[in-house]
Structure 1
């Protein structure tokens, strides 16, 4: 599933029309596809549907939807936010077809808000086609009043077409917007469906195909895709019956300190549960015994320590045949830990940097450009803000753009964590994770992800697939826990590790 910006969707539409798929044909296709989606859940006997229509192409889709619903026998009323003469282009043609089919158009300009409110009170479903991706100015009358009245009807099921009216395609909104229970996106979902606070208005998101050839969408310069369960199952490696432990990766996990020994324990257990063949944990010698007693399946590289943290040397690591390194969980922020990050940036081996490792990286990001082996950074919004020298609010406002720019500038993989985690490759391709919930907003969950990711990047032939699969698995485990016996309040990081086997079983059995 590809995700697009406003301008990219316009470009796709233009190319489709140049191909011969004219605007009115695309509008008809969109209306037909949405109607097919709708009728699977609507009742001719009990439901009364109100379609609210604006003057743009999104409104034209509304006329097609209303016409089709009425032709199938559903009780459907149309309310127009403007005068009929304000409708132009393909939307005007769709309106004329609707009227020539013998159906009535109610204009709020002619009948007034009270009449609209009365019609609204008598319906069960509202289909919102007031505003589309072309919105660029704050809401004006009567759109503002109509949206306010619709949102006030708490017992109506609201379905937005393409995006909720009032929401900007690229994220955000000016004032009020339709609070939809469900949104049916046309051909491609827009970026605002995967950013907050815009996502709050979308409800459940579905996508309908309107017949634009995939080749046209593939020409979009900035690639963004939702990483689905189907892609996870298709790309997940299968284990050979004759495999041995060396075939599944020799990983080095670096972290831990006197005050944060649990972080490295959780990362290690997650890595082992995710299939690491051989795992070595590098940890300050002051805390090596308690950690070793918690993770008995790993090997250990005790390092010189000072005050319970790394003193700055990573002994014997050069002599080990390591295939990937993860660093950061619980390692602390002293000068010794900073020196370890400097050393690791010079090693010709895939390197995953998380947590306190990112704290130290913020002062030396330019060193990433000189690396020849892949680098993966996994910041949350605050860590990304520190890497960029901006505020977390700026990061949240421009998650797609900023993570892409960082990945391409520093030739690294960026995993920008948060709702709909974005995984970006050094070439700028982006993969959006659909799994996860608020239960992950707790200390330790990121350490679990680090362990999963370290393990999978050693087992996959594609680094991008390994990273995206790790993020998907991490989120899916949280979803399974909340769906089964937990709430988003009580899940703790160690619960994620215990639930990993269930999700891996679903993957290996192709039953996600």
Structure 2
């Protein structure tokens, strides 16, 4: 897992390293610049003409170290220092002086503004070392004009730590560098995973500069990127001496006359994800619509009214280890009563889609549950749960998820680009798989099935949920890499891609 930090946490980590652990700020900057250089060296062609744009802060200092190393290895590199030299302080000043004593020159931007504007279109590579994580509000001249010129340049733009002008913690950006690649230092910042800030990052690469993990653990909240290696490490192994009961009995409750497909998508996804036995509970009038769609699942017919659930459940002879409820249920009074009954069942529960519509009726019951509860809202559903505008949810995805999870003791899966899984203890795990192919009806139903199937097989809930989100996104990635486009993928295609993805992970 890779820790994700706020700007304030990153400053605290730096202080922990320099003041308590004892690595000097000069050494830390040299380590950062060296690590960034070696990453860039793998990407920048030898014949490329490079511009390093340096500001006065730590980003500028990193830029001086990078530029020194580029010149040492024979790269044609111009270094443009935007502020007057006297404004460069601390470790950045040391890095500049080392650069100078190494025999290398730099160009003062002041007085040569037109020259930079004329040259920028002719560089192959621009390294943005202008502004760092301390940006508040819109940038001021001359940075504003320089950034606008960078964005018009055809060069490949590498941003150091964060694209200049982008708030590290996310939110709206005014004038900001639109990077092709962002090389973030040690820990990605919050804004890399929330929009619109994330739009400016391009490809995100994390560069380890040797900060001791203890410093991060001491000063940062439990907030991580859930990586493929975490998935592989926590995926359960199927035993030779096992049977269908070993992998759990799942009840998927959903469906209505208007939405017959959703519950079958969830059921099939659960089966593809390894669930041993799956029973679909649907309104009794829907039997013919669903019976043949998933022949591997059993079908349970519950009382219907108006093409939806009447509100009563039939538990006679039904043995279950987990429940997934919501796909395609509709929002009738009968559905409301049924969801309230299902929440009382003492087994792991996944609540999605229409079942979330009635959150206000059963939220206190959820708080009292002892078995794990997973809710999987998209931003619109999250806004309804919290009675807040969608825009407010999107501005504070990490915050709203954490508060809800901790208040009700649930696992919250806030869906969207960079889906966030939040555990009841407040720890958070960001998923980086997936693409716009998932922006289509039925995708959430598939995720519900995978989450429920994995809950039955994993020992711990958080890895089960995070792995399900990862696999769901990875299936969409696999599809666009194997003949599909992000336009044409169907939810059923995602189910069909699960075997290939699971084979690569187990």
| TM-score interval, normalised by the smaller of the two chains | over 0.9
User: Does the CA-based 8 Å contact 2:410-2:423 persist in structure 1?
Assistant: yes
**1:7-59 per-position Cα deviation (integer Å, ceiling 9, x unaligned):** 11111111001211111111100000000001112233x21110001111111
Residue 256 (structure 1) aligns with? 255
By how many angstroms is 1:290 displaced?
2.1
Hey, what's the Cα distance between the residues in 2 that align with 1:467 and 1:346?
Answer: 21
Residue 301 (structure 2) aligns with? 302
Residue 314 (structure 1) aligns with? 313
Hey, what's the Cα distance between the residues in 2 that align with 1:174 and 1:280?
Answer: 48
Runs of 4+ more than 6 Å apart? none
Aligned CA distance change for structure 1 residues 176 and 449 (closer, same or farther; 3 Å)? same
User: Does the CA-based 8 Å contact 2:340-2:361 persist in structure 1?
Assistant: no
Residue 507 (structure 1) aligns with? 505
Residue 129 (structure 1) aligns with? 129
Residue 329 (structure 1) aligns with? 327
User: Does the CA-based 8 Å contact 2:32-2:62 persist in structure 1?
Assistant: yes
Structure 2 counterparts to residues 112-511 of structure 1, below 5 A: 113-153=113-153, 155-316=154-315, 319-508=317-506
Query: Helix, strand or coil for the counterpart of 1:466?
Result: helix
Does the alignment pair 1:62 with 2:60? Answer: no
The Cα RMSD (Å) is: 1.1
Query: Helix, strand or coil for the counterpart of 1:454?
Result: helix
By how many angstroms is 1:137 displaced?
3.5
The two structures have a TM-score, normalised by structure 1, of: 0.97
By how many angstroms is 1:249 displaced?
0.6
User: Does the CA-based 8 Å contact 1:362-1:386 persist in structure 2?
Assistant: no
Query: Helix, strand or coil for the counterpart of 1:110?
Result: coil
Hey, what's the Cα distance between the residues in 2 that align with 1:107 and 1:367?
Answer: 65
By how many angstroms is 1:457 displaced?
0.5
Residue 37 (structure 1) aligns with? 39
**1:189-219 per-position Cα deviation (integer Å, ceiling 9, x unaligned):** 1011111111111111111111111111122
User: Does the CA-based 8 Å contact 1:126-1:156 persist in structure 2?
Assistant: yes
By how many angstroms is 1:272 displaced?
1.0
Q: For this pair of structures, how many residues does the alignment match?
A: 504
User: Does the CA-based 8 Å contact 1:256-1:330 persist in structure 2?
Assistant: yes
Hey, what's the Cα distance between the residues in 1 that align with 2:216 and 2:364?
Answer: 34
Aligned CA distance change for structure 1 residues 157 and 103 (closer, same or farther; 3 Å)? same
User: Does the CA-based 8 Å contact 1:166-1:173 persist in structure 2?
Assistant: no
Query: Helix, strand or coil for the counterpart of 1:211?
Result: coil
Query: Helix, strand or coil for the counterpart of 2:83?
Result: coil
Give 5+ residue unaligned stretches, structure 1. Answer: none
User: Does the CA-based 8 Å contact 1:139-1:174 persist in structure 2?
Assistant: no
Hey, what's the Cα distance between the residues in 1 that align with 2:291 and 2:44?
Answer: 59
By how many angstroms is 1:173 displaced?
4.0
The two structures have a TM-score, normalised by structure 2, of: 0.98
Residue 7 (structure 1) aligns with? 8
User: Does the CA-based 8 Å contact 2:251-2:279 persist in structure 1?
Assistant: yes
Query: Helix, strand or coil for the counterpart of 1:286?
Result: helix
Structure 2 counterparts to residues 89-104 of structure 1, below 5 A: 89-104=90-105
**1:322-364 per-position Cα deviation (integer Å, ceiling 9, x unaligned):** 1111000001100111011111222211110000010111443
Hey, what's the Cα distance between the residues in 1 that align with 2:408 and 2:477?
Answer: 33
Hey, what's the Cα distance between the residues in 2 that align with 1:384 and 1:239?
Answer: 35
Hey, what's the Cα distance between the residues in 2 that align with 1:221 and 1:124?
Answer: 37
Hey, what's the Cα distance between the residues in 1 that align with 2:233 and 2:255?
Answer: 35
User: Does the CA-based 8 Å contact 1:365-1:387 persist in structure 2?
Assistant: no
Give 5+ residue unaligned stretches, structure 2. Answer: none
By how many angstroms is 1:4 displaced?
0.6
User: Does the CA-based 8 Å contact 1:257-1:309 persist in structure 2?
Assistant: yes
By how many angstroms is 1:221 displaced?
4.9
By how many angstroms is 1:373 displaced?
1.2
**1:466-512 per-position Cα deviation (integer Å, ceiling 9, x unaligned):** 1011111100000010111111111111111111111111112xxxx
User: Does the CA-based 8 Å contact 2:367-2:408 persist in structure 1?
Assistant: yes
By how many angstroms is 1:90 displaced?
1.2
By how many angstroms is 1:92 displaced?
1.1
Hey, what's the Cα distance between the residues in 2 that align with 1:388 and 1:449?
Answer: 22
